[in-house]
Amino acid sequence: MVGYVSVRDSSTNTQPVRTNIPIEANGNYSVDVAGLTPPFAFLASGTVGGRSVSLYSAATSADVGGTINITPFTDLIIRNIAATAVDAYLAAPSGMASLTTAELDAQRVTLTAQLAPALTAMGLSGSIDLLRATFNADSTGLDRFMDVVKVDTTTPGEATITNILDAANTLVIDTTAGTATGTLGTANLASSGTPLDGILLTFNTFSGKFATSLPSDADPDLLALFSSTFKDDGRSSSAFLTELTTDNTLIGLQFTHVVLDSIDQAGTTAQVYFTPVINGINIADGETLNWQMKKDAVTGIWQADGNQRIARVNVAAIAEKITCNPAAAACNTTTGNRTGLHFEINNDAMQAIGSAVVTGPSLPAGGVTLTAQVNQTWFNITTTNPNCDQMGGGSLPVCNNNWLMTDTEIGAVLPNSIYTMKLYDNSQAPVLLATYTLVVPVAPMLNTALAAFVFPSISGMVDLAGMGAATLAPSWSIPAGLSASYLDVYVWQTGTNANQSVEQNNLTSSSGTASLVFTAPPNSGTWSGGGYSISARDQYGREVTTRYQ
């Protein structure tokens, strides 16, 4: 999980009493409960496989100084104890405050017994302590088990446990009555040699090629990891590998949070989610990536098949603060905030895409249309939005490819809402090229919440108007609860098409100073103006940006 942990105790203090405790890359977290009143409840919030997830766990005074896991199984233990909505249980005077170690252990033992055949099939003890056993998020041991045995609590009062390698046989637990029906399937579970192991081997072999240097794009061992039908954001395997094997910044590339999401009945085609990192830093703009994997019938290698998309597409929640660069003498921007959805279509592969239509919760009945920009790879919104100024020059913000929303509209966007994006060609009677479904983990922030929200900030800015060649040294600061993403400075020259943007991506800390080198305009003279941006993401992947003009 990518996210944060919060803690509730049994005191009368405002809850939660601890927040924004980061979950480390290995899945570990640490919290000091000194001065707090046991029992304790823990909530891990974030994303897994591009979807929002909230998981509960609990501990008593006997657990202080030890390990307490927060997983789908500990969440189920708490749901079984609560026998009602967990939030209501935690808030009730007779709820968490009366929780005992014996009560926790009784539910833990019951659940472990129900999972025992699957646990032993995966090479684990049938009596493992699901609440306290130490493990890392590295696809080994208990983590490996949870990669294939999933818990679904979408239906209120019910939990469905599924071995995705034997999805027809599920165990359904009524968390209100405490009863169980069905039997968890154990087919294809083993201590080694499962499809999951084969897929992990492919990712590990792939990253191994980049461990200390860049491999050749003709390396036969590397080529063997890619299918003949590979397609990723419009790129073939040849184009993809050429791009990767010529980028020195990818030395040390690794893949984390590899999640096996589903596999077909034949056991030869799977959907996986993963995060590419360098030195532990997400290099995919804070996003989780999705690939199809196919098992080669001859070699048995699980080969990467890409995301099978003809362009990079995404729908994401955003929140922005627009304000003046304090060093800009000519700035007359009134500080304001905006929130909504960001529609991304990046046609770097230069496919013949002319337009797109996005449909989903709180969008117009006919969807939102975006059109390709002349001589560019991106698309802008052409559908009228009463919250935006499409043409510029008015009192409303220019939206480009952001769909700004009211709080009423935001309220209709439920967790893990599905949006559909259709891509059309550029003919006079547009022909449908592709249809993609995209998940938005959580709704955008409410407009009413933005005034009190602490956005990222930049200091050390200069007036960009009148600047020629220069090296800028802006410093950034990211508030707790957000992960740094990128810092960008752009400049333009009036009367020409000259512009320049210099960006520092994949920021590694909550504060620091960038070094951004600008050249003078190609047509001589100086730059007429520009702006600074600093962006971060919360645990749900919402992009939070401050723009200085």
More confident residue, 330 or 487: 487
CA distance 498 to 518: 13
pLDDT confidence bin for 294, thresholds 50/70/90: very high
3-state secondary structure of 502: strand
H/E element, 50: none
- Tokens for 386, please give them: 């009463």
- pLDDT average, residue stretch 69-77: 97
Q: Is the pLDDT of residue 223 over 70?
A: yes
Classify residue 63 by its DSSP letter.
Answer: G
Cα–Cα distance between 178 and 76 in angstroms, integer? 11
pLDDT (average), residues 193-198: 96
Q: Is the pLDDT of residue 68 over 90?
A: yes
Helix (H) or strand (E) holding 338: strand 336-346
User: DSSP letters of 406-423?
Assistant: -HHHHHT--TTEEEEEEE
User: Tokens 């087919």, residue?
Assistant: 187
Q: Report the pLDDT averaged over residues 195-223.
A: 98
Distance linking the first and last C-alpha atoms of the chain: 36
Cα 336–chain centre separation: 26
Mean pLDDT of the chain: 94
Task: Burial-class residue 402 by CB neighbours within 10 Å (0-12, 13-18, 19+).
Answer: buried
From 463, 458, 456, select the one nearest 513 (Cα to Cα).
Answer: 458
CA distance 378 to 254: 29
- Dump pLDDT digits (tens) for 240-291: 999 999 999 999 999 999 999 999 999 999 999 999 999 888 888 888 999 9
Interstrand relation of 312-323 and 543-548 (parallel, antiparallel or unpaired): parallel
Arithmetic mean of pLDDT, 517-537: 95
Residue 394: predicted pLDDT: 55
- State pLDDT tens for residues 402-449: 999 999 999 999 999 999 999 999 999 999 999 999 999 999 999 999
Question: In which residue are the tokens 């073939």 written?
Answer: 236
Give the per-residue pLDDT at 391.
53
Q: What is the DSSP letter of 392?
A: S
Torsional class of 7: left (φ above 0), alpha (ψ -120 to 50), beta (otherwise)? beta
Phi, psi for 107 (deg, rounded to 5)? -70, -35
Checking if the pLDDT of 332 tops 80, the result is no
Report the distance separating Cα 244 and Cα 440, nearest Å.
Answer: 28
Q: 369 near 359, Cβ under 8 Å? A: no
* Mean pLDDT (whole number) for 190-202: 96
The per-residue pLDDT for range 460-513, each reduced to its tens digit, is 999 999 999 999 999 999 999 999 999 999 999 998 989 999 999 888 899 999
Measured CA to CA, the distance from residue 294 to residue 306 in angstroms comes to: 10
Residue burial 44-63, b: 16+ Cβ < 10 Å; e: rest: bbbbbbbbbbbbbbbbbeeb
> 193-303 adopts what CATH topology?
Nuclear Transport Factor 2; Chain: A, (3.10.450)
Percent of the chain's residues with pLDDT above 90: 85
What's residue 375's pLDDT? 72
Q: What mean pLDDT is predicted for residues 349-365?
A: 95
Give the predicted TM-score (pTM) of the model: 0.88
Burial environment of residue 136 by CB neighbours within 10 A (0 to 12, 13 to 18, 19 or more): middle
Reported as type and span, the H/E element at residue 197 is helix 195-208
Q: Which fold has domain 453-548?
A: Immunoglobulin-like (2.60.40)
What span, in angstroms and rounded, lies between the C-alpha atoms of 92 and 349?
A: 56
> Which of 57-71, 99-113, 115-129, 392-406 is predicted least confidently?
392-406
Residue 377 has pLDDT above 70, yes or no: yes
How much of the chain exceeds pLDDT 70, in percent? Answer: 98
Among 466, 469, 464, smallest CA distance to 488 is for 464
Neighbours of 513 (CB within 10 A): 13
398, 388 in Cβ contact below 8 A? Answer: yes
pLDDT at res. 278: 92
Given this model, what pLDDT does residue 8 score? 95
Classify burial at 97, counting beta carbons within 10 Å of its beta carbon; exposed 0-12, middle 13-18, buried 19 or more: middle
Mean pLDDT, residues 87-110: 90
Q: How far is CA 433 from CA 40, 352, 426, 436, in A?
A: 52, 9, 10, 10
Quote the tokens at residue 522.
């190609």
Residue listed under structure tokens 């085609």: 269
